[in-house]
Amino acid sequence: MKCSPCPGYINEVNRVNEKIELLNVTKTYQHAGSLVYALNNINLTIPQGQFVGIVGMNGSGKTTLARLLNGLILPSSGKVLVNGMDTTDPRYHKDIRRLVGMVFQNPDNQIINPIVEEEVAFGVQNLHFSAAEVSRRVTWALQAVGLSDLRHHAPHLLSGGQKQRLAVAAALAMCPAYLVLDEPTSMLDQSGRSELILCLEELRREHGITIIMISHVMEEVARADRLIVLYQGNIHLDGSPWEVFSSPEFEHIGMTPPPIARLTNVLIEQEHQIDKRIVTFEQMVEFLCP
Amino acid sequence: MPIIETKDLTHVYLAGTSYEKKALDKVSLSINQGEFVGIIGGNGSGKSTLIQHFNGLLVPTSGSVRVDGKDTTVKQYRKNLWKKVGIVFQFPEQQIFKSTVFEEVAYGLKNMGMHLPEIKNRVEEILVQIGLNPGEVAHRSPLSLSGGTRRQVAIASIMAMRPAVLVLDEPTAGLDSSGSNHIMQAIQEMQRNYHTTVVMISHYVSQLMLLADKLVFLEQGRLLACGNQEEVFQYITSHNLGGLILPDYLRLMHHLADYGYQVNTGVSSLEEAAREIGRILKESFLCKV
């Protein structure tokens, strides 16, 4: 699948010093009269252009973190800055939401239009672009997720995986600088999954779009540049995937590395000559079949 | 006698419109009491449509479905089938509608006419089984729970009714390993204790490999292979569909074999895969020396 450039996008992102910053961010919820810390004093910088995976057990604060990134929810204390813009300042909400695209766990909750292409066009139309520009972006976004053939179909007739790709396309059409995906592949089959990941990787490589992806599928986040592990509202580990997967702490908090990383770890324990950084299928194949 | 039997089951959505879509095409299969059956196939292959025939939510466009020997097109029979065949849909946590965990899990039991003391016992038992602490969660609002815990509650509310057939559509998608382990253990326990028939759709083929007695492989509405693991994987690899659904270790072995290494392409565990690759590494090291 080939992702072509998002029209009108490049000029907007080539500014320097672009990043999302979380400064001492705490998010609390009231539950049964007591205070629950969903996130506890998080400090985090995500520079433009990274592919960041976020993992952690259910309830560790991943979704809360994702929703803070575009101001859907606001920190109880601390600051979230998107390219320097504070998410608590209503003047910036429009810019922040355009810059930070969101794709949620379940596409049924975010698809609202009766026709696939209308769903993708919806956000762009609200930005008052010309019809030609809207159509160009829709064409590109649908192509990027491999749904061009279903352009005129009804979303509710798509399969679960196709719907999820539609939700990604709708976010892509806005040409975001950051794409935050909350388990975008949990309903995709393996081919749909790798198609989507390849596309996300290409969006990052070719156009510098920052990919921030929450996932429970370790095979997917193994391909990220950086892996952040949340545990009980704190950042427990933060490093490259192989560092995280080989850390005893990772399994200690109940996480399981992806199959290939486990294979590498076992082979290293058995003192075989193997590159300890191998965590993905492709890396293993490349190592064994050069 | 099989508990579920389909014969030339065909299902067409929106027949006669321009959106007409054949979701199932002459699917014939049988599932025996107490069996654990895994259904695999890509998105849009007809998996979810198939299972909705098992408790009469859908009826065949042509062909037939018999549950416990009776045809599901008989309306009176179909109406009561929910007690016999429990379906856990994708993202079941979204169907939760009661204001406490207890009421949610008790709902189906009340509809079955069970009395309160018995319901209480049953709810407590199933919550423990699914990995939750009844004292902690029973009185809470489902909305105050994390997504994974809500999923556990939703699955518990079906399992509480102890259906003869438990059908689950991607029960662990989007769950962390602890949540999905709890759910899988509870399912196995139920199968063992009550001889429950389990039908499970999953994209995680490696998960099914460990548990399923029988695998059913669907593609574009057609049943392409049905049988034990070896038979189904044999079919999948010989038809070059491996990239789609084979688990990583198996896929790696096939890749290495294609590259010219002498490896066992039937591995299913980490240890076996490590042994094969360890051997390759040793051999290629010897060659270099």
| Separation of CA A26 from chain center | 21
Lowest pLDDT segment from A109-123, A177-191, B109-123, B150-164 = A177-191
ipTM of the complex: 0.74
Comparing CA positions, the residue from B266, B199, B206, B271 lying closest to residue B230 is B266
Using the predicted structure, report yes or no on whether residue A207 has a pLDDT greater than 80: no
Interval A143-153 mean pLDDT:
88
pLDDT digits (tens, 9 = 90+) for B3-55: 999 999 999 998 888 888 899 999 999 999 999 999 998 878 899 999 999 99
Sequence-distant (6+) residues with CB within 8 A of B270 are: A259, A262, A263, A266, B249
How many Å apart are CA A150 and CA A162, to the nearest integer?
9
Lowest pLDDT segment from A91-95, B107-111, B177-181 = B177-181
Looking from the CA of A95 toward its CB, the CA atoms found within 13 Å total 14
Two tokens at A249?
């702490």
Task: Break chain A down into helix, strand, coil percent, rounded to 5.
Answer: 40, 25, 35
| Sheet architecture: strand order including A210-214 | A100-103, A178-182, A210-214, A51-56, A226-231, A234-239
Instruction: Say which residue the tokens 């039937």 belong to.
Output: B266
Interface test mutation site (partner A, options B43, B51, B136, B210, max chain A beta carbons within 10 A)? B43
Q: What is the dihedral of CA A166, A167, A169, A174, to 10 degrees?
A: 150
- Chain B residue with minimal CA distance to A271? B278
Local confidence band at A6 (pLDDT 50, 70, 90 cut-offs): low
Using the predicted structure, report yes or no on whether residue A24 has a pLDDT greater than 70: yes
Q: What is the CA radius of gyration of chain A?
A: 19
- Interface contact flag, B42 A192, Cβ < 8 Å: yes
pLDDT confidence of residue B286: 58
pLDDT digits (tens, 9 = 90+) for A91-147: 999 889 889 999 987 778 888 889 999 999 998 888 888 899 999 999 988 987 888
Local confidence band at A230 (pLDDT 50, 70, 90 cut-offs): very high
- How distant, in Å, are the alpha carbons of A71, A97, A102 from that of A89? 9, 12, 19
Distance from CA of B146 to the nearest CA of A (A): 5
Using the predicted structure, report yes or no on whether residue B241 has a pLDDT greater than 80: no
pLDDT confidence of residue B173: 83
Sequence-distant (6+) residues with CB within 8 A of B62 are: B8, B10
Two tokens at A149?
């053939």
- Interface contact flag, B278 A189, Cβ < 8 Å: no
- How distant, in Å, are the alpha carbons of A55, A149, B175 from that of B201? 24, 27, 15
How many Å apart are CA B26 and CA B12, to the nearest integer?
11
pLDDT confidence of residue A104: 83
Contacts of A255 in chain B (CB under 8 A): 176-177
- Chain A residue with minimal CA distance to B147? A58
Using the predicted structure, report yes or no on whether residue A4 has a pLDDT greater than 50: no
How many Å apart are CA B153 and CA B41, to the nearest integer?
27
Comparing CA positions, the residue from A88, A57, A51 lying closest to residue A198 is A51
Sequence-distant (6+) residues with CB within 8 A of B78 are: B56, B59, B72
Cβ of residue B278 closer than 8 Å to a chain A Cβ = yes
DSSP A19: E
- Interface contact flag, A272 B281, Cβ < 8 Å: yes
How many Å apart are CA B255 and CA B261, to the nearest integer?
9
Contacts of B245 in chain A (CB under 8 A): 189-190
pLDDT confidence of residue B288: 53
Using the predicted structure, report yes or no on whether residue B185 has a pLDDT greater than 90: yes
Rounded to 5°, angle at Cα A251 from A245 and A254:
130
Contacts of B267 in chain A (CB under 8 A): none
Side chain identity at residue A121, one-letter code: A
Sequence-distant (6+) residues with CB within 8 A of B115 are: none
State which of A16-30, A61-75, B164-178 shows the largest mean pLDDT. A61-75
- How distant, in Å, are the alpha carbons of B29, B168, B227 from that of B54? 12, 11, 19
Nearest to B174 among A216, A219, A259 (CB): A216
Two tokens at A285?
């194949």
pLDDT confidence of residue B269: 81
Other Cβ atoms closer than 10 A to B162: 17
- Interface contact flag, A262 B13, Cβ < 8 Å: no
**Considering chain A, what is the average pLDDT of its residues?**
87
pLDDT confidence of residue A267: 93
Using the predicted structure, report yes or no on whether residue B246 has a pLDDT greater than 70: yes
pLDDT confidence of residue B73: 94
Using the predicted structure, report yes or no on whether residue A11 has a pLDDT greater than 70: no
